Amino acid sequence: MGREDEEARVRDDNDSASTKQSVPVPSYVLVRDNDCQIVREYTPITYETNHVDLLIKCYPEGSMSSKLTHLVSGDEIDLRGPELHPGFDLAGVKEIGMVAGGTGITPMYQLIKYILTQAPHAADTRLSLVYTNAYEVDILLRKELDLLQQHFPSRFKVTYVLDYPPSPQWPGWRGFVGQQVLQESLPSPLRDHEVKILVAGPDGLVKHVAGEKTTFQEQGPLRGLLARLGYHADQVYKF
């Protein structure tokens, strides 16, 4: 396990046959804390045939995240999956726009990395990501995202948004995510079925951008900024 500021990366090594399978993307795993009978969903940032990498944001008050970030080599965790997110479908999609906040970057990163590096059938798919955080230090996977953007400049564009930029010279957007940054950064809704917008992050951000997600299984009605920009419900998926 590695640690950077308030994040931790947890690797679960497993050589059993159960890990040697076709992994759906984007997928999640269930992590169970047998001490307090808590189960949490996490999206792996890497899922190989013999290991899973989880990116954990450290919250002192969070019983599961606190336990995971204090693991040492050799500790065991109860991990089940992977499972495909319910109702997720990118059939026929040529342009994917993403809006992520905080740890909502994990399903986006999993999908971005897969499409750009492991999916030859999606070689003409273009991706754009709007990634919002409070402070620059909160940006997770920044090195990995910037590297992918450098390697695939015609297919992947990332736009960073900070509530509190470090200086007036900050090159990204500033303030809470608004209609203008989405309009300028995401593919147009007028391209119909060829466009899909994905949203992930804190409940407040998801509600502001796309309307509240009612349950894990139910998307809920499309509202918020994306509705005002003219997107249709079948063009938007909320993680």
Whole-number average pLDDT of the chain: 85
Determine whether the annotation assigns residue 55 to a binding site: yes
110 in the same domain as 150: yes
Determine whether the annotation assigns residue 19 to a binding site: no
Given this model, what pLDDT does residue 4 score? 41
Three-class SS state of 39 = strand
Proportion of the chain above pLDDT 90, given as a percent: 56
Looking at the structure of the chain, the number of domains it has is 2
Instruction: Compute how many other C-beta atoms are within 10 angstroms of the C-beta atom of residue 226.
Output: 26
105 in the same domain as 37: no
Is 12 inside any structural domain?
yes
Determine whether the annotation assigns residue 148 to a binding site: no
The stretches of 174-219 forming alpha helices (DSSP H) are: 179-185, 203-210
Domain boundary among 84, 107, 122: 84
Determine whether the annotation assigns residue 64 to a binding site: yes
Is 89 inside any structural domain?
no
Q: What share of the chain is helix, strand, coil (3-state, %, to 5)?
A: 30, 30, 40
Determine whether the annotation assigns residue 98 to a binding site: no
- Whole-structure pTM value: 0.83
Among 52, 79, 62, 56, CA closest to 3: 56
Given this model, what pLDDT does residue 8 score? 57
Domain boundary among 84, 106, 134: 84
Is 90 inside any structural domain?
no
Span 104-141, pLDDT tens digits: 999 999 999 999 998 888 889 999 999 999 999 999 99
Using the 8-state DSSP alphabet, how is residue 72 labeled? Answer: -
**Can you spell out the DSSP letters for 117-156?**
HT-GGGTT-EEEEEEEESSGGG-TTHHHHHHHHHH-TTTE
Q: In which domain, by residue range, is 9 found?
A: 2-84
